[in-house]
Amino acid sequence: MLYQAAMDLNVKVRILTGDANSAAAQVCPDYVVDDWNNETALRRFATGCEVVTFDHELVDTRVLRSVEAGRCTLRPAASSMQKVLDKASQRRLVRELHMPTPDYLLASDRDALQAAVLRFGYPAVMKATRGGYDGRGVHVLSGDEDLNAWSDLPSEWLVEPLLPIERELAVQVVRGVDGELRTYPVVETYQSGGICRSVVAPAIVPPELADTVRRFAEAIAESCGIVGVLAVEFFVVGGELMVNELAPRVHNTAHYTVEACAVSQFENHVRAVLGWPLGPTDLVVPAAVMTNVIAGPDPLRPLSEIRPFPPVRVHLYGKQTRAGRKVGHVTACGDDAARLRQTADRVAAMLVGESEAVPSGAPSDRSQGVRA
């Protein structure tokens, strides 16, 4: 999607991918298959580019620093990436800025995990500080049995109480090379099994809450000197806002911006990293809903078998289907967010071969926030 936005601006793109079958390699003819965490490979790739940017954060900052020292321009810079790369640094940054986060402890061995569980009690949540996404790397510890399954910890974990989350919100900020800031509308996100299912824009929240969400995200973007899009995820617990997670890249919670905003997150990311002026981030429709197409056990149904629903746009990524994998999304724009959500959910469900739509606002949306 970044490539498609760049193409519209006549910007030449070369992609470094680990897999010739990746979605990006399917659309962009100029791709290199190599290891982005290998310094020589990254340097070789970066040498031919005016600027290098990222669409995920599974990168090693030591490698980034060294490539940057070799006069390659990375945007965001290695120093920005380092501050937001893993869940531990993200929480540290947010705390330094005196913003509320869930109470948490870090654990790198079994004793520290046990101490954290003693402090918070059951149920607790443990999250891999690196490499997790879509709830992968997030585990609920409901009792001693779950704790005892971890005789050894392979990496660093963030441990926190399982919170009675009322709502989840997200917002994306785009920051230019010269510090220009633009912020997209605050959205509400709905997850089940730790995966984001749908995003509703704009979130119907009190204006003061939306202001705080935007203010927090802008302050985080400034403080880490990000160039490009930064997404911030929030929990609302007991009416209080908490920062959960940051992502230094274009983000699933802003895919709706392609149809619903004056300039999409993808175009604005390209603009930002090239040092161009940014475009307006306003909604151009009253409401929009994006629902992810999450693969089930079967291949996707051919689009030709599905009757078009007028307000819905379908985006399929050409990825191999695997149960639980995001393989596309649908966006519906219009007036009535509740109806748009039903329609978007229904089309997404039809694509994965479920004849019935996922009921909107089902209680499972909240109670199954994380995988057991």
Ligand X SMILES: Nc1ncnc2c1ncn2[C@@H]1O[C@H](COP(=O)(O)OP(=O)(O)O)[C@@H](O)[C@H]1O
- 369 is in the binding site of which of ligand X, Mg ion, none (Cβ under 5 to 8 A by kind)? ligand X
Q: Which residue is nearest to ligand X (CB)?
A: 369
- 127 is in the binding site of which of Mg ion, ligand X, none (Cβ under 5 to 8 A by kind)? ligand X
CB 261 within 8 A of CB 282: yes
Token pair belonging to 197: 């299912």
- Helix or strand (DSSP H, E) at 350: helix 337-351
- 257 is in the binding site of which of ligand X, Mg ion, none (Cβ under 5 to 8 A by kind)? none
Is residue 370 involved in binding ligand X (CB under 6 A)?
A: yes
Query: Rounded CA gap, 168 and 177, in Å?
Result: 30
Candidate ranges 54-62, 70-78, 130-138, 266-274; the one touching ligand X (CB under 6 A):
130-138
CB 265 within 8 A of CB 254: yes
Query: Binders of ligand X among 27-46, rule CB under 6 A?
Result: none
Query: Rounded CA gap, 228 and 163, in Å?
Result: 31
Residue 201 or residue 247: which is nearer to Mg ion going by CB?
247
Is residue 165 involved in binding ligand X (CB under 6 A)?
A: yes
**CA quadruple 207, 211, 217, 218: dihedral sign:** positive
Cα separations (Å) of 168 from 90, 164, 191, 219, 242?
18, 11, 8, 20, 10
Is residue 170 involved in binding ligand X (CB under 6 A)?
A: no
CB 5 within 8 A of CB 267: yes
Site string for ligand X, 56-95 (x = CB under 6 A): ----------------------------------------
Among 61, 101, 129, 244, the residue binding ligand X under the rule CB under 6 A is: 244
Residue 45 or residue 190: which is nearer to ligand X going by CB?
190
Query: Binders of ligand X among 304-363, rule CB under 6 A?
Result: none
Candidate ranges 20-28, 133-141, 170-178, 342-350; the one touching ligand X (CB under 6 A):
133-141
Cα separations (Å) of 70 from 16, 43, 47, 226?
18, 8, 9, 20
Token pair belonging to 25: 């390699």
Shortest Å distance, C-beta 196 to ligand X: 7
Among 233, 259, 267, 365, the residue binding ligand X under the rule CB under 6 A is: 233
Candidate ranges 157-165, 313-321, 337-345, 349-357; the one touching ligand X (CB under 6 A):
157-165
Among 68, 160, 245, 365, the residue binding Mg ion under the rule CB under 5 A is: 245
- 32 is in the binding site of which of ligand X, Mg ion, none (Cβ under 5 to 8 A by kind)? none
Is residue 57 involved in binding Mg ion (CB under 5 A)?
A: no
Residue 311 or residue 369: which is nearer to ligand X going by CB?
369
Shortest Å distance, C-beta 337 to ligand X: 20
Hey, how many other C-beta atoms are within 10 angstroms of the C-beta on 18? 12
Candidate ranges 42-50, 79-87, 151-159, 230-238; the one touching Mg ion (CB under 5 A):
230-238
Among 125, 224, 278, 350, the residue binding ligand X under the rule CB under 6 A is: 125
Cα separations (Å) of 286 from 208, 248, 317?
20, 28, 27
- Helix or strand (DSSP H, E) at 351: helix 337-351
Dihedral of CA atoms 76, 78, 83, 84 in degrees, nearest 10, equals: 50
Dihedral of CA atoms 25, 28, 34, 40 in degrees, nearest 10, equals: -160
Query: Rounded CA gap, 140 and 155, in Å?
Result: 17
Hey, how many other C-beta atoms are within 10 angstroms of the C-beta on 130? 17
Shortest Å distance, C-beta 345 to ligand X: 17
Residue 159 or residue 227: which is nearer to ligand X going by CB?
159
Q: Write out the residues near ligand X by the rule CB under 6 A.
A: 102, 125, 127, 132-135, 138, 160, 162-163, 165, 168, 191, 194, 233, 244-245, 369-370
Q: Write out the residues near Mg ion by the rule CB under 5 A.
A: 233, 245
